[in-house]
Chains A and B, each alone.
Chain A
Amino acid sequence: MRGAPIKLLQRVPLFTDLNKRELQQIARLFKARRFAEGQTVVQEGSGGAAFFVIESGEATVVIGGKKRTILKPGDYFGEIALIDEGKRMATITASSELVCYGLTYWDFRPVVQANGVVGWKLLQRMAKMLRESRED
């Protein structure tokens, strides 16, 4: 077995419309990464290297010093800095022992370019975030 478990990716909204064969291809590209409790996973303002899906544990999202939400198994994060090659928009810290599967920029981009459904889901998520930011 190489990469992320299919069952984990099936829980990720970004990949729910993919068939099993497509999921298997994408799953092979993921690599496991463990973070200790309290460890910074991504730092706001830093360049972005990877997109992560949480397998187990929880992580806290802080934007501009303000705590926003808690991420749990099946949640994903880190895609925005990979899309525009810009800075991380949030600081994410492991609030417990955290096991993630990560996909680096160099694997993430071809996946999105080759899968319209993944691209569409990302657009939907961006639109949702834009609306939410205007409501803040």
Chain B
Amino acid sequence: MKRVVPLGKALDEAIFGSKAVGLGQAIRNGLPVPPGVALSGSIVEAVAAGERAAIKEAAKWVGPLGGPLAVRSSAADEDGASASFAGQHLTLLNVPSVEQLSSALSEIWWSANSDSAITYRQKVGLFTRPSVGVVVQALLDPDSAGVMFTRNPVTGADERVIEASWGLGEAVVAGIVIPDHYRIDRSGQVLERKPGYKKIAVRSVANGGTVEEKLSPELVERLCLNDDQLGELNRLAGRCEQIYGSARDVEWAIAGGTLYLLQCRAITKGG
């Protein structure tokens, strides 16, 4: 059994986790996903245990991606319809190169085996041994990024809800800024566009990790998406629903004028 595969060949959730398989499905359907590889739960655990052969094998696959890297957890039972491990399982957004991969994988393995993750598992009735796969992708340097719900997660209305900010989507996901808020109907008609209050952008830094960069005053309340980009996001929402089904929670980024899909999962109870 292969322990590492190109992301587009990740087929089995029990081996590579739901995030990897979801992105693999997106690639196979022609959606714009940054290049990457999927590491199985077994190789991640072996790397965390310091097994040299596993470290070498992971590095061989990840090396061609260059750097910096986005290293994201992809647990087998992560982000199911009834449980979301967001905030429990780690994502490391700017691992500078393959040399730092082992410690990144070890950190992610431990995040799935941390006290807080185990407490959450007990709470949602998933007190089983975690198997945490990992998705490694080339890190984007986005102009803007955020989340999109293909159906309104609050009202249930059949419309897209988009939250966006400058730089990496971490600013939106982690609630660091008040993001721009958009609602679009299925035809692409913009129903609402409300500027946020975006004093900072999360950016990657050369030696690894991210920083919160203070934005110039004119960007704080300026909308970061134009109508063309909203149209593209609406089309992406439609494609995601065709492939995965309705009511999806999508993470996206726009870098160098290209829209990328970073993650697509079912909207959970917590939204």
The reply on A89 being an interface residue by CB < 8 A is no
User: What B residues does A43 contact at CB under 8 A?
Assistant: 115
The reply on B49 being an interface residue by CB < 8 A is yes
Asked whether, in the complex, the Cβ of A50 is within 8 Å of the Cβ of B113, the reply is yes
CA distance in complex: A88, B117 (Å): 14
**Contact flags (1/0) for A105-132 with B, using CB distance below 8 Å?**
1100000000000000000000000000
CA distance in complex: A33, B118 (Å): 17
Asked whether, in the complex, the Cβ of A1 is within 8 Å of the Cβ of B114, the reply is no
**Contact flags (1/0) for B171-184 with A, using CB distance below 8 Å?**
00000000000000
Contact of B118 among A28, A31, A48 (CB under 8 A): A48
Least Cβ distance of A36 to chain B in Å? 12
Asked whether, in the complex, the Cβ of B48 is within 8 Å of the Cβ of A31, the reply is yes
User: What B residues does A1 contact at CB under 8 A?
Assistant: 50, 52
Asked whether, in the complex, the Cβ of B50 is within 8 Å of the Cβ of A49, the reply is no
Asked whether, in the complex, the Cβ of B115 is within 8 Å of the Cβ of A47, the reply is yes
Contacts A1-B50, A32-B50 given: A46-B119 contact, CB under 8 Å?
yes
User: What A residues does B52 contact at CB under 8 A?
Assistant: 1
Residues of A contacting B: mostly: loop
Asked whether, in the complex, the Cβ of A31 is within 8 Å of the Cβ of B110, the reply is yes
Asked whether, in the complex, the Cβ of B119 is within 8 Å of the Cβ of A3, the reply is no
Q: What number of A residues sit within 8 Å (CB to CB) of B?
A: 22
CA distance in complex: A33, B114 (Å): 11
Least Cβ distance of B152 to chain A in Å? 34
CA distance in complex: A49, B112 (Å): 9
User: What B residues does A33 contact at CB under 8 A?
Assistant: 106, 110
Interface residue ranges of B46-61 to A (CB < 8 Å): 46, 48-52
Interface residue ranges of A36-59 to B (CB < 8 Å): 42-43, 46-50
The reply on A96 being an interface residue by CB < 8 A is no
Contact of A49 among B45, B48, B51, B118 (CB under 8 A): B118
Which one of B51, B52, B106, B113 has the highest number of Cβ atoms from chain A below 10 Å of its Cβ? B113
Interface residue ranges of B104-156 to A (CB < 8 Å): 106, 109-110, 113-119, 121-122, 127, 129
Asked whether, in the complex, the Cβ of A49 is within 8 Å of the Cβ of B49, the reply is no
User: What B residues does A2 contact at CB under 8 A?
Assistant: 46, 49-51
Q: Which residue of A lies closest to B116 (CB)?
A: A46
The reply on A104 being an interface residue by CB < 8 A is yes
Asked whether, in the complex, the Cβ of B46 is within 8 Å of the Cβ of A49, the reply is no
CA distance in complex: A28, B54 (Å): 14
CA distance in complex: A74, B91 (Å): 32
User: What B residues does A85 contact at CB under 8 A?
Assistant: 122, 127
CA distance in complex: A3, B45 (Å): 11
User: What A residues does B117 contact at CB under 8 A?
Assistant: 49
Contact of B113 among A28, A29, A32, A104 (CB under 8 A): A104
Least Cβ distance of B112 to chain A in Å? 9
**Contact flags (1/0) for A45-80 with B, using CB distance below 8 Å?**
011111000000000000000000000000000000
Asked whether, in the complex, the Cβ of B49 is within 8 Å of the Cβ of A42, the reply is no
Residues of A in contact with B (beta carbons under 8 Å apart): 1-3, 28-33, 42-43, 46-50, 85, 88, 102, 104-106
Residues of B in contact with A (beta carbons under 8 Å apart): 45-46, 48-52, 106, 109-110, 113-119, 121-122, 127, 129
Known contacts A47-B121, A47-B122, then 14 further A-B pairs from the complex at CB < 8 Å, ordered by chain A residue: A1-B50, A2-B46, A2-B51, A3-B49, A29-B49, A31-B48, A31-B49, A33-B106, A46-B119, A48-B118, A49-B117, A49-B118, A88-B115, A105-B118
